[in-house]
């Protein structure tokens, strides 16, 4: 018995609520599970290949975020897709998988945070800017100074800005 030929099986929880005055709060917890064994994948807790955990019980390694959004934009904190991922996947007609998918070269295009980054802080531009969209993020690796890793390792950041006319494609927008 295999689990998800091109992608893992997933389990997740998400919700949002109106806080009034045009402000809303949200959360998203998503993990992967292998249906044949019930085990889960590993995740990087410090944005380095040495900081992995999981592989046993459920971990929300795909996405674990909380956020606030309003007229001035949105703020999202936690583990989520990186800017490198959005730049690659958002405009790839094949998506992640298949004969032309971009995931095959992902590791060479962004290191340990090529798809997801932990301990990230993201700001999203407001959605009604006449087709202009964008976000900025910073990931903090949380490496202790005595961890054997360089203290600044796992820290990175990025900015993504673009223009899109017509109806927005769901996977290109936050």
- Here the tokens at position 63 are 């996405």
Phi, psi of 18 (to 5 degrees): -80, 125
Please identify, in words, the CATH class of the domain defined by 9-163: mainly beta
pLDDT, position 85 = 77
Q: Specify the pTM.
A: 0.71
Rounded CA separation 130/149 (Å): 44
pLDDT band at 20 (very low <50, low <70, confident <90, very high): very high
H or E segment at 30? strand 23-33
pLDDT, position 132 = 92
Average the pLDDT over each of 1-10, 28-37, 111-120 and give the range with the smallest value: 1-10
Q: Dump strand ranges (E) for 71-111.
A: 73-81
Q: Which of 106, 103, 105 is nearest to 114 (CA)?
A: 106
- Here the tokens at position 105 are 């070269």
CB-CB contact of 106 with 112 (8 Å): no
pLDDT, position 14 = 96
pLDDT, position 41 = 63
Report pLDDT digits (tens) over 31-69. Answer: 877 776 666 666 665 565 555 555 556 677 788 999 999
């Amino acid at each position: 018995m295999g689990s998800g030929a091109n992608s893992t099986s997933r389990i997740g929880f998400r919700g949002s609520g109106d806080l009034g005055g045009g402000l809303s709060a949200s959360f998203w917890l998503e993990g992967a599970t292998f249906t044949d064994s019930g085990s889960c994948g590993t995740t990087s807790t410090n944005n380095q290949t040495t900081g992995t955990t999981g592989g046993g019980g459920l971990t929300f390694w795909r996405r674990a975020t909380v956020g606030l959004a309003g007229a001035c934009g949105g703020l999202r904190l936690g583990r989520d897709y990186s800017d490198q991922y959005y730049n690659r996947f958002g405009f790839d007609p094949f998506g992640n998988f298949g004969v032309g998918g971009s995931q095959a070269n992902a590791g060479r295009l962004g290191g340990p945070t090529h798809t997801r980054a932990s301990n990230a802080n993201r700001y999203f531009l407001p959605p009604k800017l006449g087709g202009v969209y964008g976000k900025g993020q910073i990931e903090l690796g949380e490496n202790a100074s005595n961890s054997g890793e360089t203290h600044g390792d796992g820290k990175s950041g990025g900015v993504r800005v673009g223009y899109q006319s017509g109806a927005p494609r769901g996977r290109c927008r936050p």
